[in-house]
Every structure is written in C-alpha cells, then in structure tokens.
C-alpha cells in the first residue's frame, strides 16, 4: 500500500528509491498500487490539539494532547535537566493498582514505581525536569494510557523499551528538545479494550504531535498492529518515521499531516507495508508534508 498526499501513483520500489532518510531497510519489492485521493483534511489551521480519527473510532482517545495539561511547550526551562531515580528490576514483581499515576514537576508519584512491574492504570509523565525515562526500565505493562507531555529536558525515551504491553493510548506531545524518539520498541500491538460500564469497544491510538526538535521516529520497532488511530502532526523538524515501517494493520485513521520536513517517501515506505486495510479509506490523510523528497 502506498500513501501520498495526492495519489498513490509510485510503485513501492520507486518510492523507496526517492527516500533520503526513509525505510533504508526496505527490500524494495514493488506491489500493486491503488489510486486514491485521500482528500480528508485534518484541519491544520484548527487548534493543534485537534486530531483526526476520534470520530471514526468512536472515542476521543486520540486527542490526548488536549486532555493533557495545556500550555505552550516553551513555557518551561530548556537545558540539561536531571537524571531520574532508577530501581532494582530484579526485585520488580509487583503491580501498582492505581487508576492515575502522575510523574510531574508539581506532583510526583515516581517512588511508587519501586518494585513494580505492572501499572494497572494510566501513567502521565508531564512537565518533568528529567532528561530520560530510565525510571520505566522495570515496567513491562501499563494497562491504561501512557502520556508523555511537555517535558522540556527529555532527550532519551529508550527507558520505555522494556514495555511489551500497552493497554491504552500513547500520547507524546510538546516535548521540546528530543531529537530522536527511540522508545516503545517492545510493544507488538495496541489492541482494543472494553468499556467497564457498557462493554463497548474502545479503540486506542498513538498521538505524536508538536514535538519541536524531533527529527526522527525510530522507535516502535516491533509494532505491527494498532486497532485505533495514528496521528503524527505539527512536528516542524521531523524528517523520518521509519520506526513504523513494520506496521501491518491500522484499525481506523492514519493522519500524518503538517510536518513540513517529513519526506513523503518515508511516509510511503511505511504505507507500503500496511496489509490491512488493503485500500486506504478516505479518512486517511498525509497532507502538508515534504513532497520533494
């Protein structure tokens, strides 16, 4: 499957040949391409917190940036930051049964992670002074959402790589100094869950918006299936999303928009691997990226 802002007219091999930084590991096999306009615009002139997909999916989980604390990403100090505490993973066998766990500059539950392998709830990492996520190295599962928002010192996300199960949304927004997102390499799928009250399905999403200096998404190495949406929007320095090149299926909406440096060839190489759905629906959009590379 090929993705292009206007049409899907290049063969996979041709798209990868154009890549300056995209899908360098692709074998270049061509496949039948599907012409489509994919004209659904995600409204780039609207509030940056607006994300496509929530209406299609039947829930508003993928607009996590608006549900997270609001404010400009540059309203905190930018500098070296500090190393967070880390924990003995050999002793980490417990489950933290707490609906909301917050690690932030004003309220910090980080000590609760000592001895914990599973967080049975949601984890918010918001506006910290930490330069890495190594306090997550013992965490293998989060049953709810993982939100990483407004961390002006964060330069390394690899502390999340021991996680193999994420039961909710992943929101990574307004982290102003990270250049390469190198996290979440152990999660194979983001599945749906059931509403505890009604039993209705909830479709979970990945949102990576407004990260000012993020040049590359290199994480997500093993992700092959997401039942909900993927939104990558308004990242002014982003050039490559090769971390998603193993993706095989998306349940609802793919919206990769308004990333002015993002090579469409990198987007296309990701799209070339998607097997489900076979034909991109009209709700998918890849507008306002860099069409020249």
pLDDT at 2: 59
State the Cα–Cα distance between residues 48 and 118, nearest whole angstrom: 32
The DSSP 8-state label assigned to residue 174 in this structure reads -
Q: Which of 241, 251, 244 is nearest to 276 (CA)?
A: 251
Residue 273's CB: how many other CB atoms inside 10 A?
A: 18
What is the per-residue pLDDT across 258-267, written as a single tens digit (0 to 9) for each? 999 999 999 9
Tokens describing residue 136? 């997550």
pLDDT at 79: 54
Tokens 């949406």 sit on residue: 229
Helix locations, the chain, DSSP H: 12-18, 54-57, 64-67, 264-271
Mean pLDDT value of segment 11-22: 37
State the Cα–Cα distance between residues 126 and 173, nearest whole angstrom: 10
State the Cα–Cα distance between residues 15 and 162, nearest whole angstrom: 33
CB within 8 Å of 36: residues ≥ 6 apart: 7, 8, 279, 280, 282
Mean pLDDT value of segment 130-141: 98
What is the per-residue pLDDT across 85-102, written as a single tens digit (0 to 9) for each? 999 999 999 999 999 999
Has residue 36 got a pLDDT over 70? no
State the Cα–Cα distance between residues 182 and 8, nearest whole angstrom: 29
Share of the chain above pLDDT 70, in %: 73
**Confidence band of 135 (pLDDT split at 50, 70, 90):** very high
Among 141-150, 167-176, 192-201, 256-265, the range scoring the smallest mean pLDDT is 192-201
CA atoms within 13 A on the CB side of 178: 32
Tokens describing residue 151? 């961390």
What is the bridge-based pairing of β-strands 180-181 and 216-217? parallel
Q: Which of 16, 14, 9, 15 is nearest to 33 (CA)?
A: 9
Q: Which of 244, 246, 58, 181 is nearest to 256 (CA)?
A: 244
Indicate the average pLDDT of the chain. Answer: 81
pLDDT at 109: 97
pLDDT at 58: 38
pLDDT at 106: 87
Q: Is 263 helix (H, G, I), strand (E, B) or coil?
A: strand
Has residue 219 got a pLDDT over 70? yes
Domain-wise residue ranges, the chain:
12-290
Question: Quick one: three-class SS letters along 206-268?
Answer: EEEECCCCCCEECCCCCCCEECCCEEEECCCCCCECHHHCCCCEECCCEEEECEEEEEHHHHH
pLDDT at 273: 93
């Amino acid at each position: 499957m090929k993705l292009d802002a206007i049409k899907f007219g290049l063969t996979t091999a041709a798209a990868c040949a154009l890549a300056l930084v995209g899908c360098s590991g692709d074998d270049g096999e061509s496949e039948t391409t599907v012409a489509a306009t994919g004209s659904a615009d995600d409204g780039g002139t609207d509030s940056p917190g607006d994300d496509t997909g929530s209406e299609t999916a039947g829930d508003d989980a993928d607009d996590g940036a608006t549900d997270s604390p609001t404010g400009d990403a540059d309203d905190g100090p930018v500098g070296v930051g500090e190393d967070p505490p880390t924990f003995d993973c050999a002793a980490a066998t417990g489950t933290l049964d707490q609906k909301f766990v917050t690690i932030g500059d004003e309220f910090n539950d980080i000590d609760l992670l000592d001895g914990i392998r599973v967080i049975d709830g949601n984890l918010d990492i918001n506006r910290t002074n930490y330069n890495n996520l190594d306090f997550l190295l013992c965490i293998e599962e989060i049953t709810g959402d993982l939100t990483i928002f407004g961390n002006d010192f964060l330069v390394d996300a690899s502390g999340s790589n021991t996680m193999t199960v994420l039961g909710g949304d992943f929101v990574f927004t307004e982290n102003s100094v990270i250049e390469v997102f190198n996290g979440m390499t152990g999660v194979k799928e983001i599945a749906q869950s059931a509403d505890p009250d009604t039993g209705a399905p909830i479709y979970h999403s990945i949102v990576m918006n407004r990260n000012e200096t993020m040049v590359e998404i290199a994480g997500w190495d093993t992700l092959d299936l997401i039942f909900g949406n993927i939104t990558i929007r308004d990242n002014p320095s982003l050039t490559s999303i090769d971390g998603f090149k193993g993706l095989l299926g998306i349940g609802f909406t793919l919206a990769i928009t308004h990333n002015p440096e993002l090579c469409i060839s990198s987007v296309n190489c990701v799209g070339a691997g998607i097997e489900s759905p076979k034909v991109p629906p009209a709700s998918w959009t890849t507008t306002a990226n860099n069409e020249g590379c």
